[in-house]
Structure 1
Amino acid sequence: MAKEPLKNSLRIALAQLNPIVGDVEGNEAKARAARAEAARLGADIVMYSELFLAGYPAEDLVLKPAFQDACRLALTRLAKETADGGPAMLVGLPWKEYENLYNAYALLDGGEIASIRFKADLPNYGVFDEKRIFDAGELAGPVSFRGVRLGLPICEDIWGEEVVECLAETGAEILLVPNGSPYWRGKTEERFNIAAARVTESGLPLVYLNAVGGQDELVFDGASFVLNADSSLACQLPAFRETVALTVWERQGERWACIEAPKETIEEGQEADYAACVLGLRDYVEKNRFPGVVLGLSGGVDSALCATMAVDALGASRVHAIMMPYRYTSADSLTDAADCANSLGIRYDILPIAEAVEGFETILQPLFAGRPRDITEENLQSRTRGTLLMSVSNKLGSMVVTTGNKSEMSVGYATLYGDMNGGFNPIKDIYKLEVFALCTLRNQWKPTGALGPDGAVIPQRIITKPPSAELRENQKDEDSLPPYPILDDILECLVEHEMRISDIVAKGHDVETVKKIERLLAIAEYKRRQSAPGVKVTRKNFGRDRRYPIVNRFRDDGRPALKIEESAPGLKPRQAVVDV
């Protein structure tokens, strides 16, 4: 058989797109449109993100034979279209092979499925459950594409050394890595470090193509990039936005180099957190086909930030704010809520709740007679508001936006069937101090593509006044909770870092305060299980990341860490003895 001629140039299009889980035909159409754009750019091949036809993560949906069939038929149709001599395609999908189900990446060229590779390293930590649904593929060499040997490691395959080492040893020349890599704070640097390590070890250039868009609690931030063989950054695509971009490659001696590609500036830090919340909310609303959203606007900082995010995500015409005052609602709150709504240009209604709250109290009076007023009556206010918002949602079709922050969700400072009602919470993974910071940030900056107004949109008094639920006279959050700088630091230690109480106390916190917060965190688990989904921003969110039992009697008693000797005499390797 004649040897393929050596190819000295290659034009690879990167389709950083926003697929919808389960919308196989829609994702197929997106792939087709991106290929047309790639052809216009003069590309030889266009690559798509991990499991593109299915959407990621499709979870147990990929176990349905009918869904597997739909993905395979879509792939077959796309393969046939490559007979036109245009760009080849690299497309991800679930692939059934006899009794095994794989996370696969297929090369489509010349009117057929030319090659296919299966993901070997299946992640099974944090938000990932791939070992539950997929079988691991065997280590495999590169695929041949028009005289170039392409290595196709899939996402997690580059987080260890073995898969890339195999590809390098079997002759790969370029690593093309499709990803479904969700955003969390600091993820960009983590990805770069992993990719650079594989480039350094293999001596091969690497294309890191990521999906973009929201899927339930996860947000995929895109931010795809290319590293040349010397680990220099050759391409950077935007974060949080779709794009089809061309990268131009040239063979330089024994190596390939990306010599032409876009280099965008991407959001980082708080800007990235804000953009992730907006994209997550937008896609949850759009992909579930809600006409708009409704939320309670209290005059407080949390609801003001959520309203602003909603306008940035959907536009002012699709956001409806409702103030629901009671006797404890201050005049300042009424003014601040109205000013915020006016700044955002959204519909704003006032529905007083006194008649409903007092009606409930009248109904309950025979059962509560002789008992003092307590948090029960406070919660009636919150539950009345929740009922009203859900009624508006039922009648008008808008989704209720839940507005509780991570500090509140952590310690249960929220009312079931009250302020916890709703369909989605954009700030569920944002601590209270970060809420203040994001409000200040948004008054100074607006993300690319945001639909809200420029400039300061959240009244300054909302940011500076002491937080209060306003469920009783002169109430302040700090009546029930430690000051937020203390509370948030303790919570981050307990939630994100799983620290011992003794270690948190060693940082300078009061031991009784830490024990109280640890107890509140534990007993609020039953509430969090019933809370609305929300955007994942931190490394450990409530939901997919942190899975604690509701029935749980363990409490950290604050003792110092035990001394563990790893190599005690007479024990087998990896066993340990505890020195009590």
Structure 2
Amino acid sequence: MRDGFIRVAAVTPDVRVADCIFNTEQICMRMDEACGHGAKILVFPEMCITGYTCEDLFRQDLLLKEARKSLREIIFHSRGKDALIFVGLPWEQEGKLYNVAAAVSGGSLLGLVPKKCIPMYSEFYEGRYFSPGNEEVIWTEFDGKPVPFGSSQLFACREMEGLKVAAEICEDIWSPKPPSISHAMAGATVIVNLSASNENTGKSIYRESLVTGQSARLVCGYIYTSAGEGESSTDLVFSAHNMIAENGTLLAQSARFKNETVYSDLDIFRLLSERRRMSTFTSAENADYQKNAFHLETEEMKLERFFDPAPFVPGVKEDRDRRCEEILSIQALGLKKRMQHTGCRSIVVGISGGLDSTLALLVMAKACDMLSLPRNTITAVTMPCFGTTDRTYTNACTLTRKLGANLLEVDIKEAVKLHFRDIGHDPDVHDVTYENSQARERTQVLMDVANQLGGMVVGTGDMSELALGWATYNGDHMSMYGVNASVPKTLVRHLVSYYADTCGDGELSRTLEDVLDTPVSPELLPPKDGEIAQKTEDLVGPYELHDFFLYYALRFGYSPSKIYRIAKIAFDGAYSKETILKWLKKFYYRFFSQQFKRSCLPDGPKVGSVAVSPRGDLRMPSDACVRLWIGDLDRITAD
């Protein structure tokens, strides 16, 4: 339960229709298994105590009494179990029969939640037996103790702030106004659904869209458990389609047509963070809701949840290709609008033969195509200096030629040397002055060329560099429009790779592939034996780590210690925990100290859910103190 994680289970036991004794044995056995696996919230199917397909047997007094007896046994079996458990059964209340979810924990019956929406269409005729459940909570009695009865109930964990669970039953989620909407507005962060959804062709796809869509709309965890094999097959088949979703993402689902238990680790703090971020999500304490407290032991849990080491990059090639095409279009459309608005006759870029300037050049070519302008509207300026290698120089020239842009070469060595003499800097001292003098000279050349051509300079820096402040202030940091400003480095690579795969030009494709194979470098230090001497990731750390840190720090507001915990899982076998901790500290130091560079960024299009624009997603003081964040990581070191 540390860091807001809690393991949940969607459990489909074997059943026999109307055999409460067998069904109770199976429920208790599965309860033991799930609790042994560390699950803290267990959800069983609708009517699992009796079986959903009892039909007119629901009118038999003997079955109803046996169901209550079984519930009593399940409650007793829950003693000593550190979990909140939901089971389904028929319940007679004031002369009416209801389809209910019973919430059980620690040997107590916490509440009874009746199904609100009773289907009477197609193969469903529940209205023959069951009445629609009431929203308003009334009180009933079980074994001489008062029990709340009604759909407006929350089950709140004493030990985890924000863990509030509410229930709906099967058809409720298919209705135009599911009870889960009210539940979430009243503060529920986890919705459980006890279901008995029969299977027919194509239904599973729609069912999955309902569950994931509802979890996204309500910014909640959603545990959906359905009846399976053992239900009557007189007219229907039930597939035990169990799902666990979180804010639109399907975390786990069962293999259909097999009774099994699926587990996942919900992140309650992540959900709370997302709700705080969304000003349109409004929730408040609702006086009409009955709050039922339950207890869970706070204990260390080994996470089983998958954490993608590349959260900005879709893992499936088809999704990745679609994302790449979409991002290239967003970038190009942003530049197109800026060109139209300014009426510029030319667009200028510094082309280095590296990844970022290559992506910028590809975007500029696409923008020209959108505007039906010749690609020689682009002037790509290569500016060799002390650190330029033959490899990057050749690639820069080839790319410019193949894309149909104008190539201008301006050797800046003498200009930089003159500048060194003017300020009294020893050119043999390869310090920050040595490096930044080159970067600022290049920016001056680009700006002045743009003035000559009546155009504007297109920036090449990406979001990962901006997050780390890996840019020369008023050097490559500056432009008139930064097309890569919200593209992380890990995604830049895939965008260039996608273009290489789809451009249909063999020479261009080979050149782009060689750019992809070139080490990331600003090339500001002299080469060693003709090879790049200055490798960015040796200095600031692996970009795949920094992009991972950036995603969870900005998108969900995770604490540094929580990011460290999940990074160890995501990069297991790739980086040691010491390496992860080292670069995570470096990330926070640089992220806080370099905000002043982001505070005055040029305009640029947002392409994803994370961005660092001072006018949009990241409004952060340039002199904020990093002490709390580093302190959080220092406690890890002490441990």
With structure 2 as the length reference, what TM-score do the two structures score? 0.44
With structure 1 as the length reference, what TM-score do the two structures score? 0.48
